[in-house]
Amino acid sequence: MTDVREDFINALVDLDETKCIDLAKQRVEAGEDPFTILEDLREATDRIGNMFEEGRFFVSDLMMAGEILKQIMVVLKPAFGDRKIESKGTIVIGTVEGDVHDIGKNIVTALLEAEGFTVVDLGVDQPPEAFINAIKENKPLVVSLSGLLTEAIDSMKKTVDAIKAAGLRDSVKIIIGGGRTDEEAKEYIGADDWSDDATSGVRKIKKLAGVA
């Protein structure tokens, strides 16, 4: 790995926003293959995930990393021109009805995009019908229901029940995410998996999508 690639990865891991964006712009302007830069993003996010699991990174650090990732993708996307980025598949994500928290959802979205997925982010306070329509329109591999409030658990169940009633449950994997989720909530809601942090959530989504 060349020095500039390692410098770029380290800048993201160190959350050095200015250096990271500057290096991304320099690499794009130099005509470097954007897919190589994507690979470096994936390497950096893997390192960040490991540091979080080891207790060396905190939620605030993940938030910062997510914001930097978004900015890098803005710099990077024009470099692909007419070249099609081969997606690993589509993921639908959204915060369920009655909840407007989106920090965890936004981090997961940024990390999934860096991993090469196409992410359809529905936003916050989304009713079951929004998820049903998104499944019909996008045919995702996985649907991620996000929520932080205790009340979100019942909203998640309502959403999964509606997906079942629409005859779509067998066509998609469902993961729930948020601080109130656990194994018991997963069973109650009828989801395939659960996660209470972004990095494990991304890992589990990859597994559900069959690309772990």
Quickly state the pLDDT bin for 36 (edges 50, 70, 90): confident
Question: What's the pLDDT tens digit per position in 133-180?
Answer: 999 999 999 999 999 888 999 999 999 999 999 999 999 999 999 888
Question: What's the pLDDT tens digit per position in 94-122?
Answer: 999 999 888 778 878 877 887 889 999 99
The residue extents of the domains of the chain are 3-80, 90-208
Q: Is pLDDT at 1 greater than 60 in this prediction?
A: no
May I ask the CATH architecture of the domain 3-80? Answer: Orthogonal Bundle (1.10)
Non-local CB neighbours of 40 within 8 Å, separated by 6+ positions: 5, 8, 9
CATH topology of domain 90-208: Rossmann fold (3.40.50)
Give the predicted TM-score (pTM) of the model: 0.72
State residue 129's pLDDT score.
Answer: 98
